Amino acid sequence: MSSALLIEIGCEELPARQIARQVDLLAEGLGKRLSESGLIEHAENIERFATPRRLAVRIPAVSARQPDRVLERKGPSLDVAFDSDGKPTRAAEGFARSVGKSVDELETLDSEQGRWLFARVEQPGKTLGELLPDMFDATIGEMVGARSMRWSDRDDRFLRPVRWLVALHGSEVIGLNQFGLEAGRTTRGHRIHAAGEHSLDNASEYENVLQKAAVLVDSAQRRQRISQQAAALAEEAGLDVLIEDALLDEVAGLTEWPVAVMGHFDPAFLGVPEEALISSMEQHQKCFALRDGEGKLAPCFIAVANIESRDPSAMTTGFERVIHPRLADARFFWDQDRRTTLAAKRARLDNILFQQKLGSIGDKVRRVSALAIDIAESLGADAATTARAAELCKCDLVTEMVGEFPELQGVMGHHYAAADGEPEEVATAIESHYLPRQAGDRLPEDAVGRTLALADRLDTIVGVFAAGQKPKGGKDPFALRRAALGVVRILDASGCRRPLRELIERAGQNLSEQLPVPKALGEEVEAFIMERLRPWAAEENIETNTIHAVAAGQTGSVADFMARARAVQRFAEDPAVASLIAANKRASNLLKQSETNTFGDVDEKKLQEEEERRLFDALKKTEKTLVGLLENGDYPACLGELAGLREPVDRFFDKVMVMTDDEAIRRNRLALLDALRGQFSRIADVARLGR
């Protein structure tokens, strides 16, 4: 017989941000162990339920008992099992006792290694009730972490004190004792609307029983309910609600029976930058902000209660009363920070440590400023504007507002710079130089912001490597891998033609006052950043073979690499050039077979066949055309010109014997193929395509 198995752990209120991970650990742990024991066939269809007061899983089709198994046991060899008179030795008798048989009942096993005593032992399967306690105990052990706690006089640990347990297999209670509790069939309802115990007749009715007890155990349903209620309230007021997925998840993790209400705040608070108000509402009060039809922040918010109040207006008033001081704090920070300019705050950056060996944030700003000014022209940025933005780019770190809301670094710097009368280009760059903040985030759209973003990341990567803190395994405390990906993306998008190695060396020179940066370290940093280039190229739908082909060609800047890769990818996808790619592979193989790596120039006088003369003429003509195209980085046009070699190359291989016995002719023809390969190698080794 198989039935659904329901396990519920009832707790005091769990941290909302950890609920999803905890219920996943419960499902994965039990699913793995039930599968290994043979009680379930698959561990993929486990249902997960979670609220602030419970973690639960329901596993379908769990057998009540393991199937019986026949174990095959090999004993001692016959030479050891019997003496010279054929009588059983102590080894044979001991083996017989271990399998619960007499020596006469044992079988003989013949193998290439010899003859052995052998026994088949029937092992009856254990019941779910016998196996589940140990499985549950082991799973709980995996869920316990650094933030787990003990309560009462017990040694058990869990994220929060456990107050009840449910263990139902179909309609049968499974004997389970943990945390000093005995599992049963009673769960608990909403603290206010349906307090106390509620009995479950069967594991299948879990959601229905709790919904009647004012508990929505499915977090997806709570998310949907919150989203729908918030949207309905906003629509009724003619507004648009701002719903971030992370906040929606957190609010769903704070409620069992969510009820959304709309509140209002004093419009005077709208004089504070909206990002600060939104952060205050979302981070402190877990409320959703709203915008009006013009996209401006409205003096309203949507809060989510965990109760269906008989007096909604009183509940709304309570939310308004609580949110007022939070918004007042944001206004106080805004007013306080503007008493001095951003520039006046710059000296305080020397009091904030960036890294022990790399000095203060002030030291970092001076290095970033020097590097940014040096590379500004390469990224199309004005040097003077870049210098001013670099001086101010970290000054908002010492403001009261960013101290309270760290996620607003850069954003508030933009507002404070604008309030100080700084040029808009400077204010914009202060905010945008933090982009991209995470994978998939947008890049700075302004040239000054791109310049600062690149200089900031290069300084961090080179500096942390020099300080001996490079990433190891999964540890990356300075997020250098993310910074390296940002470097790659910015260089690609900006079209910067300066080689990566040159930029790294410049960053190292600025660092020399704090730490020496040896040449080998620069090579290591370059390799580290280039490791991010290949995944980025793959994300841009460039195939691995194309990446290898371009990497084997001439080295250049990141932007140049990506420009060549995109052009080569389109080239490789064109069916018309398949034979040209194949010919390059053939040429590469022939060149590898030769006894030398240097072939010299083609001697036109030694060209005997019409087909090799035609190929030689075509190569000369193409080479002249490529000069200007390569200078302009027009790689699609370059490859278009090279595609014109397809016909003379095909005719050459059809009619000309390259590896002829005449050494002089053979070397000259290999030189011709080397010239062909050289034309392509300035862009990519196309012989690697399609491998």
What tokens appear for 105 in the block?
A: 């009942």
Cα dihedral 630/631/634/638 (nearest 10): -20
Say how far apart CA 220 and CA 445 lie, in whole Å. Answer: 37
Q: What is the pLDDT of residues 548-564, one digit of tens each?
A: 888 877 777 899 889 88
Q: What is the DSSP letter of 83?
A: -
Q: By C-alpha distance, which of 141, 156, 143, 179 is closest to 10?
A: 179
**Please, what is the end-to-end C-alpha distance for the chain in angstroms?**
54
Q: How many Cβ atoms from other residues are within 10 Å of residue 220's Cβ?
A: 10
Please return the burial class of 507, using the count of CB atoms within 10 Å of its CB with bins 0-12, 13-18 and 19+: buried
Contacts of 607 (CB under 8 A, 6+ apart): 613, 616, 668, 672
Q: How far is CA 603 from CA 297, 450, 586, 669, in A?
A: 76, 50, 22, 9
Taking residues 136-152, what's their average pLDDT? 90
SS3 label, residue 304: strand
pLDDT at site 245: 93
In which element (H, E) is residue 79 found?
Answer: helix 78-81
Q: Which residue has the tokens 């001095």?
A: 340
Radius of gyration of the chain (CA): 36
Quick check: 359 pLDDT over 90? yes
Contacts of 626 (CB under 8 A, 6+ apart): 638, 641, 642, 679, 682
pLDDT at site 635: 86
Q: By C-alpha distance, which of 652, 690, 644 is closest to 673?
A: 652
pLDDT at site 568: 87
Quick check: 454 pLDDT over 90? yes
Greatest mean pLDDT among 213-217, 468-472, 676-680 lies in 213-217
Quick check: 691 pLDDT over 70? no
Please return the burial class of 490, using the count of CB atoms within 10 Å of its CB with bins 0-12, 13-18 and 19+: buried
Say how far apart CA 497 and CA 507 lie, in whole Å. Answer: 17
For residue 690, what pLDDT band results from cuts at 50, 70 and 90?
Answer: low
Taking residues 113-141, what's their average pLDDT? 89
Q: What is the pLDDT of residues 506-543, one digit of tens each?
A: 999 999 888 888 888 989 999 999 899 888 988 888 88
Quick check: 603 pLDDT over 70? yes
Helices and strands in the chain: count of H runs, count of E runs: 27, 18
Q: Give 607-671 as a 3 state SS string.
A: CCCHHHHHHHHHHHHHHHHHHHHHHCCCHHHHHHHHHCCHHHHHHHHHHCCCCCCCHHHHHHHHH
Say how far apart CA 165 and CA 103 lie, in whole Å. Answer: 49
What tokens appear for 427 in the block?
A: 């204010």
For residue 418, what pLDDT band results from cuts at 50, 70 and 90?
Answer: very high
Q: What is the pLDDT of residues 635-665, one digit of tens each?
A: 889 888 888 888 888 888 888 888 888 888 9
Q: What are phi and psi of 3, to 5 degrees?
A: -145, 170
Enumerate long-range contacts of 371-377, CB under 8 Å, 24 or more apart: 371/455, 371/458, 371/459, 371/506, 371/507, 371/510, 372/451, 372/452, 372/454, 372/455, 374/506, 375/451, 375/454, 375/455, 375/496, 375/498, 375/503, 375/506, 376/447, 376/448, 376/451
pLDDT at site 125: 83
Say how far apart CA 48 and CA 8 lie, in whole Å. Answer: 10
Say how far apart CA 331 and CA 400 lie, in whole Å. Answer: 11
pLDDT at site 598: 74
In which element (H, E) is residue 43 found?
Answer: none
Q: What share of the chain is helix, strand, coil (3-state, %, to 5)?
A: 55, 15, 30
Residues 432, 446 contacting (CB under 8 angstroms): yes
Question: For residue 72, what are the β-bridge partners?
Answer: 120
Say how far apart CA 23 and CA 31 lie, in whole Å. Answer: 12
Say how far apart CA 120 and CA 106 lie, in whole Å. Answer: 8
Percent of the chain at pLDDT above 70? 99
In which element (H, E) is residue 48 found?
Answer: strand 47-51
Q: What is the pLDDT of residues 271-285, one digit of tens each?
A: 999 999 999 999 999
Average pLDDT over the chain, rounded to an integer: 91
* Segments in 340-471 forming alpha helices (H): 342-345, 361-375, 383-392, 400-404, 411-419, 424-432, 447-466
Taking residues 682-689, what's their average pLDDT? 81
Q: How far is CA 113 from CA 78, 116, 499, in A?
A: 12, 9, 65
What tokens appear for 304 in the block?
A: 């989510």
Quick check: 1 pLDDT over 80? no
For residue 595, what pLDDT band results from cuts at 50, 70 and 90?
Answer: low
Please indicate whether residue 688 or residue 159 has the higher confidence score (pLDDT): 159
pLDDT at site 354: 94
Q: What is the pLDDT of residues 300-310, one digit of tens each?
A: 999 999 999 98
Q: What is the DSSP letter of 88?
A: B
Taking residues 367-395, what's their average pLDDT? 96
For residue 78, what pLDDT band results from cuts at 50, 70 and 90?
Answer: confident
At what angle are helices 500-511 and 447-466 packed, to 10 degrees? 70
The length of the chain, given as a count of residues:
691
Residues 648, 614 contacting (CB under 8 angstroms): yes
pLDDT at site 111: 79
Q: What is the pLDDT of residues 570-593, one digit of tens each?
A: 888 888 778 788 877 888 888 887
Contacts of 38 (CB under 8 A, 6+ apart): 63, 66, 67, 125
Taking residues 672-689, what's their average pLDDT? 83
Taking residues 626-634, what's their average pLDDT? 86
Say how far apart CA 116 and CA 107 lie, in whole Å. Answer: 8
pLDDT at site 132: 95
Quick check: 234 pLDDT over 90? yes
Quick check: 685 pLDDT over 90? no
Q: What are phi and psi of 560, to 5 degrees?
A: -65, -45
Q: By C-alpha distance, which of 217, 283, 277 is closest to 244?
A: 283
Question: For residue 291, what are the β-bridge partners?
Answer: 240, 297
Quick check: 182 pLDDT over 70? yes
Q: How many CA atoms lie within 13 A of 354 on its CB side?
A: 24
Q: How many CA atoms lie within 13 A of 633 on its CB side?
A: 14
pLDDT at site 640: 86
Please return the burial class of 106, using the count of CB atoms within 10 Å of its CB with bins 0-12, 13-18 and 19+: buried
